Chain A
Amino acid sequence: MKGDKLGEFEEFALLAVYALKDGTYGVPIQQYMEKSTGRTVTMGAVYAALSRLEEKGYVRSALGDATPVRGGKRKRQYESTAAGIKALHDLKRVRERIWQAIDARGRA
């Protein structure tokens, strides 16, 4: 268990939720992840990642209203929480710092 830390796959999933804006659901998230990473992403993995993210408080979900588009069935909609967005930015900053260090050493 990684505690509150984000695994790579979880990070992609969280990024996808963030990028897709509020009210997105399983299918667009899976599609987005597959397109942006170029890897095969199974639905089971997406559900697992989303439920872990939810447990860590990085996303929240609610059952949305039935829509005529999806045959009148309700879907679970996800949105990123403030903590989730902060965690993404933290990770990004960490990476940027490391890359800056590497670049600086390269120039030296």
Chain B
Amino acid sequence: MTPRETRPPRLMRWLLACLPLGERRVEIEVDLTELFAIRARTHGRIHASWRLMRDILSVITAPRRSVNEPEETSVGIATLPHWPIASLMNGPGAWLLDVRHGLRLFGKHPAVIGATVGGLALSIAVGTTVFTILNATVLRPYGMDDPASVVRVQMLIKQGMSNEWPYHAFADMRERAHQSRVEASAQERAPFSMTAGETGARDDSVLIVSGGYLQALGGRAVLGRTLRPSDDEAGAAPVVVLNHRFWAARLNRDAGIVGKTVWLSGTPVTVVGVIDQTFTGPVDQPPAFWAPFGSYGAIYRDRPINRTSTLSVRVVARVGEHVERDAAERELSVVAAALSDVGIRTESDGMLPVIGVRLDGASSPMDGPDSAAMLLVVGAILLIVGVILALACANVANLLLAGASARTREIGIRLALGASRGRILRQLLGESVLIGLVAGGAGLLLSLWLVPIVVSAVGPPESHDVRPDGAVYLFTAVIAILSGAGAGLAPARHGSRGDLVAVLKSQSAQASGPPAASRLRRSFIGFQAAASILLLVTAALFLRGALYMTRLELGFDADRLATVTPSFPSSELRPEMADAYWRSALEQVRGLPTVEQASLARYPPFGGTTSVTNLDRDGGIYRIYENRTDAEYFATAGFRLLRGRGYRADEVRANAPVAVVSESIVRDFLGGAEPIGATLSAVAEPLSSITIVGVVADAVTARIRGDGNGTIYRPLSSMDLRDARLVVRSAQPSANVRDVERTLLGIDPRVRLVTNVMSHDVDSYMNEPRVLAGMSAAVASLALVLAVLGLYGVTTFVVNQRTWELHVRQAIGASTGDIVRLLVRQSLTPVLIGLVAGLMVALAAVRVLTPALSGISPYDPAAILGAVGVLVGTALPAVVSPALRAARTDAAAVLRQC
């Protein structure tokens, strides 16, 4: 066993370091660490951790005197078993006494405290899990040196902007910028292999970067060297540096990798370094490796990159020290505006030239133009976490309130013996903070287990580092202490207010809780009901949405389709090349025995890109998808032709002004008039020359959510060929697409191919509502359980307190039914008030969910009534069962005892 394995887990070491052990800390730490090592060797780490936990607890709780200095009474775990002693009342040790008192409380009511603390722990676990994921995906700054001075350089045009620059524009900006250091990158993919001839099983992501990119952002090498500007020089050997994660996972941390030759896309390149694992660069998902622009030509068997290359790059800059971002922006704007041939080409307005740049912050995923929207989303998620935590806190508060009322006498005696009110307050608060801390510890451990589950449900697990870091520990500690203190505040104030004389005089002072306490309890219950109904409505809506998805008719044969997206070498720009390529590709692919049909389309269904025109219509936005296809596309994809015909092959060749539209276009724009032969002028003025020749059934081809969608299909022009994708229809797309791939590689191996099986793409779209539904259902169930737990606890407590009164009622003639009705009415009133209030908030708030809901209205009556039904249905038994129990006990026996 290695020395590493005989060390206590990090969490325990951290816990040990936090303990108030006084001056004997070192001895105790050393002893416990050594014991852990012995036990880990003999019984394994799990046993050792468990025993260590017990030892830590025993060291805190066991009464023990200081050893050498008898006068040292207020330090550390020094203990005075005689109580009360004034010197302990106010020293730093007093707090520890409170804690010990609190720990003993755990022993007295294990079930009640267990359920309550368990609920809080679960809520803290959910909160920590959510925060861990948010932290890993959006909150944590990108791994770079001084992230605050890194910016993205955006191209401004007349009516918008773009983040893609032609390579030569970047080269100009780099040369002429003095206020900032300008670098660029281009996202590519390449199969990686360790031997020649073998092509990798899957494409790995590679970021092609300018030679100074890694140096500028702070990507240092842990092995070998990082990339440098000389790697971009003409004639430089092809090199690559590896991402630490890729090196660890795929190359097994091969220490001798530097200097070795590996194959990217079948080209030999030399590995010159492994980059430090903390470096990500200003991207959400760091690539598997970084290669310099100087190696691009070699890797993709293309011409070397130079000013004439058409490669699009993304430009980042590091603003120099002591330079304002505005100054750097002005400087780059002047350079960019001078680039007369750079801009965005649009179909309607022709070339829109660049007019300047905008520098957007790139320090973290939260930084940049969308930061306000991101903040809103993160805030909303954390708000839900807060609501759940508040629910659990209300339970703890109720428990403590019950405890404080029951302990009126104990507290009265302590007050009488000279304890100050502050001391009592501190004791009660100490207990609740302790509950918070215990729950926080348990929640943190639970979240370590929950995070991987949630991450694998939401997305690929390898994309982000979701191990908890300092921020996560801090977050958990803060919410644990806050929820502990928050739960304890009201009960502690209430408890320490005890009326000394009344308490000591009368035994029965504790029999009925003071009205203030029961008011507090009722408002907690009302709040819990309100929060639960809010979350239940949300979950019900998502569930209905997910159900709708399972019944959704796509309107085409997604399970028989696969698509192939080619990317032509950037030096082969001419349309004739694409035309020739597709001519032979279609001929050969259609000749394959496994292929039923094949055709071309610019935007195949669920391909990730669409061309959308948003029309303002009836006060809302009406989306029209546009697609360019060849004549066989409708038959290949299986669209149902309702009227007229599809366009013919000769119309496609001639780029004829004809169109096929989906039925919703006919319904929404032509008002039921005969569509065949009509023009599209009703849709948009620029389309007035185009004649409708056919109508196909509506189909869900891109977004599953949202409504008001129609599609216009037009013939694929020769300009579209470079961006066209091949759609292949076959019996088993996932198997047959490999044949297609081989055939296409045979035509031109320089054309890189990305294949997609359509049913997988559809699944990944479907997955999102499913995950949303699952998560929200989990959160809502937790909220419901917490609320019911609280309701049950409070009803039980109230019933116990009123036993005497209830039996007097029975003795003078009340029936069991009367008693149950009385209790249920009184207990359910706050629930109903909360329910109505929560529903009102929910109805006002669900509108924001509209974009996330698939196919159903946010006011879906089934979902809302279902949520109400679930809440009432679970609240009722929680109230009725303790009420029934009270009503059924033998009244005479109880009254005799009193």
Q: Taking beta carbons and an 8 Å cutoff, which residues of A are in contact with B?
A: 1, 25-27, 30-31, 40, 42-45, 47-48, 51-52, 54-55, 61, 63, 70-71, 73-76
Contacts and interface: CB of A to CB of B under 8 A. Distances in A.
A40 B102 CA distance: 24
A28 to B, nearest CB: 10
B65 A74 contact: no
Nearest to B33: A71
A44 B35 contact: no
9 contacts: A42-B54, A43-B32, A43-B35, A43-B55, A47-B62, A47-B64, A70-B30, A73-B30, A75-B27
Interface in B56-92: 57-67, 81
Contacts of A55: 65
A47 B238 CA distance: 66
A57 B35 CA distance: 27
B58 A44 contact: yes
Contacts of B28: 26, 43, 47
Given A26-B27, A70-B34, A43 B58 contact: yes
Nearest to A25: B31
A10 to B, nearest CB: 13
- The 10 A-B pairs with the shortest beta carbon distances in the complex, nearest first, are A44-B58, A42-B58, A44-B62, A43-B55, A44-B59, A26-B31, A48-B62, A48-B64, A73-B30, A27-B34
B79 to A, nearest CB: 9
Contacts of A25: 31
Contacts of B64: 44, 47-48, 51
Interface string B817-847: 0000000000000000000000000000000
A47 B59 CA distance: 8
Contacts of A40: 54
B30 A71 contact: yes
A74 B27 contact: yes
Contact of B35 (A30, A47, A48, A54): A30
A52 B305 CA distance: 81
B38 A27 contact: yes
Contacts of B31: 25-27, 30, 43, 75
Interface of B: 24, 26-28, 30-32, 34-35, 38, 54-55, 57-67, 81
B61 A44 contact: yes
Contacts of A31: 35, 38
A70 B34 CA distance: 8
A63 B64 CA distance: 18
A44 B27 contact: no
Given A42-B54, A75-B27, A61 B67 contact: yes
Contacts of A51: 64-67
Given A63-B27, A70-B34, 11 more contacts: A26-B28, A27-B34, A42-B54, A42-B55, A42-B62, A43-B32, A51-B67, A52-B65, A55-B65, A75-B30, A76-B27
A48 B24 CA distance: 13
B82 to A, nearest CB: 10
Nearest to A62: B68
Contacts of A75: 27, 30-31
A73 B29 CA distance: 10
A44 B30 contact: no
A42 B34 CA distance: 14
Contacts of A76: 24, 27
A44 B38 contact: no
A7 to B, nearest CB: 13
Contacts of A48: 62-64
B2 to A, nearest CB: 16
A105 to B, nearest CB: 40
A27 B35 contact: yes
Contacts of B32: 43
Nearest to B58: A44
A31 B41 CA distance: 14
A70 B55 CA distance: 19
A40 B59 CA distance: 15
A76 B57 CA distance: 21
A76 B24 CA distance: 9
A54 B24 CA distance: 15
Contacts of A54: 67
Contacts of A70: 30, 34
Contacts of B38: 27, 31
A31 B61 CA distance: 21
Nearest to B31: A26
Contacts of A71: 30
Contacts of A74: 26-27
A43 B148 CA distance: 49
Contacts of B62: 42, 44-45, 47-48
A64 B24 CA distance: 13
B100 to A, nearest CB: 12
Contacts of B67: 51, 54, 61
B42 to A, nearest CB: 10
Contacts of A27: 31, 34-35, 38
Interface centre among B54, B61, B64, B65 (most CB of A within 10 A): B64
A63 B23 CA distance: 12
Contacts of B35: 27, 30-31, 43
A54 to B, nearest CB: 6
A74 B31 CA distance: 10
Contacts of B27: 26, 63, 74-76
Given A30-B35, A43-B31, A47-B64, A73 B26 contact: yes
Interface centre among A48, A52, A71, A74 (most CB of B within 10 A): A48
Contacts of A26: 27-28, 31
A61 B65 CA distance: 14
Interface centre among B31, B59, B65, B67 (most CB of A within 10 A): B31
